[in-house]
C-alpha cells in the first residue's frame, strides 16, 4: 500500500507539502503512521503539479526511494503551485519496479494515484496504460471512462474483485477527487487550501478522517463527501 497526497489552493511549494511537515510524505516513505499493508514505500515516487498558465501538469517520477533524491530536495523549495499530487510507492508483489509504474499516472489534464491493489483480470482492456502495473491499468480504465465516473468505476471494480483496495486520488488542477475503499484518507481544510492525504502529515487537530467507501470532491467552494454503494 502506498501513500499519496494532493493539495488545491493558494500556491505553496512542493517542499512545504511533500518534504517539510513532521510526518510528510517523505517521512511516510520510511515511517508511515497508519499504513496497514507494507512497511516502507521505497519502490519509487512521483510528484505532479501545475505551473503558471499551464493546462497540463508537470510530472517528476523515479523508481528509487524519495529519501534518496537530493535533486528533488533541492528543487522542491523553489517550485510553488496551486495544485499538487504526490505519491510514494510500495510495489505489490509481482508488479514491475520502474518509473512508468510509479504514480501519478497522467492523461492530458489529469493526474491519478492509487493506494491499493486490484486483480488485473477483472479490469477491461486498457491499451493506453503507462505500465502493466495494476495501478497503471486501473488508471487507464478510469481515464478511458472519464474521471467524473471515478466513483462508479470503483464500485464496479470493487464488486468484481472483493479483495481489491481502491483508494484513488485524481486532479485536473481545478478540483481534487478521491475515493476510500479499503484504506485510510484524511482531509485538512486550511484558510489557504485543502489537503487530502493517506494519513495526516502533522498533528494539526483540523485533520478529519474520511469514512471507508466514500467519494470526496474538493473544489475552491469546499469539500463534499458522498457514500459509494
Ligand atoms: N498495486 C500498486 C503497485 O504495485 C500500488 C501498491 C500500493 O498501494 N502499495 O504499485
- Give the CATH number of the domain where residue 166 resides: 3.60.20.10
- pLDDT exceeds cutoff 60 at 203: yes
- pLDDT exceeds cutoff 90 at 37: no
Of 109, 91, 74, 105, which Cα lies nearest the Cα of 39?
Answer: 91
C-alpha cell at 13: 511549494
Q: Which of 93, 133, 166 to mutate to test the pocket of ligand 1 (most atoms within 8 A of CB)?
A: 133
What pLDDT is recorded for position 223? Answer: 98
**Rounded distance from Cα 82 to ligand 1 centre (Å):** 27
Total domains present in the chain: 1
**Rounded distance from Cα 182 to ligand 1 centre (Å):** 13
Query: 78-112, pLDDT tens digit by residue?
Result: 999 999 999 999 999 999 999 999 999 999 999 99
What pLDDT is recorded for position 35? Answer: 81
Give the helix ranges, DSSP H, for the chain.
Answer: 14-18, 25-28, 70-75, 134-145, 150-160
Please name the residue whose Cα sits nearest to atom 8 of ligand 1: 1
pLDDT band, residue 1 (cuts 50/70/90) = low
- Check: pTM over 0.90? Answer yes or no: yes
Mean pLDDT of the chain: 96
Contacts of 128 (CB under 8 A, 6+ apart): 107, 140, 143, 144
Residue 223 is part of which domain span? Answer: 3-227
The closest-lying atom of ligand 1 relative to the alpha carbon of residue 89 is 9
Would you call 83 a catalytic residue per the annotation?
A: no
- pLDDT exceeds cutoff 80 at 149: yes
Average pLDDT for 197-213:
98
Q: Which of 1-5, 35-39, 86-90 has the highest mean pLDDT?
A: 86-90
- pLDDT exceeds cutoff 80 at 38: no
**Rounded distance from Cα 198 to ligand 1 centre (Å):** 13
**Rounded distance from Cα 124 to ligand 1 centre (Å):** 19
Which residue among the candidates 1, 2, 62, 169 is catalytic per the annotation?
2
Q: Which of 3, 28, 38, 91 to mutate to test the pocket of ligand 1 (most atoms within 8 A of CB)?
A: 91
Report residues whose beta carbon is within 6 angstroms of any ligand 1 atom: 1-2, 38, 89-92, 95, 101, 114-117, 133-135
211 Cα distance to chain centroid: 17
Query: 165-178, pLDDT tens digit by residue?
Result: 999 999 999 999 99
**Rounded distance from Cα 10 to ligand 1 centre (Å):** 30
Give me the percent of the chain exceeding a pLDDT of 70.
100
C-alpha cell at 4: 499519496
According to DSSP, the β-strands at 105-107 and 186-189 are unpaired
Query: 14-28, pLDDT tens digit by residue?
Result: 999 999 999 999 999
Amino acid at each position: 500500500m502506498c501513500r499519496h497526497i494532493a493539495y488545491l489552493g493558494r500556491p505553496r511549494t512542493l517542499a512545504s507539502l511533500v518534504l517539510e511537515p513532521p510526518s510528510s510524505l517523505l517521512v511516510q516513505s520510511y515511517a508511515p503512521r497508519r499504513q496497514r499493508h507494507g512497511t516502507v514505500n521505497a519502490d519509487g515516487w512521483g510528484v505532479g503539479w501545475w505551473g503558471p498558465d499551464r493546462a497540463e501538469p508537470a510530472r517528476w517520477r523515479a523508481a528509487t526511494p524519495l529519501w534518496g533524491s537530493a535533486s528533488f530536495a533541492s528543487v522542491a523549495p523553489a517550485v510553488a503551485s496551486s495544485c499538487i499530487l504526490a505519491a510514494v510507492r510500495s510495489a505489490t508483489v509481482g508488479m514491475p519496479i520502474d518509473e512508468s509504474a510509479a504514480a501519478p499516472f497522467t492523461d492530458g489534464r489529469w493526474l491519478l494515484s492509487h493506494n491499493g491493489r486490484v486483480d488485473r483480470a477483472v479490469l477491461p482492456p486498457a491499451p493506453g496504460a503507462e505500465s502493466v502495473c495494476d495501478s497503471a491499468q486501473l488508471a487507464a480504465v478510469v481515464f478511458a471512462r472519464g474521471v467524473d465516473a471515478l466513483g462508479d468505476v470503483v464500485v464496479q471494480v470493487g464488486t468484481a474483485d472483493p479483495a481489491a483496495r481502491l483508494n484513488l486520488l485524481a486532479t485536473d488542477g481545478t478540483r481534487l477527487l478521491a475515493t476510500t475503499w479499503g484504506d485510510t484518507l484524511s482531509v485538512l481544510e486550511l484558510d489557504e487550501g485543502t489537503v487530502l492525504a493517506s494519513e495526516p502529515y502533522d498533528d494539526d487537530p483540523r485533520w478529519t478522517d474520511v469514512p471507508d467507501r466514500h467519494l470526496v470532491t474538493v473544489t475552491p467552494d469546499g469539500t463534499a463527501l458522498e457514500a459509494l454503494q
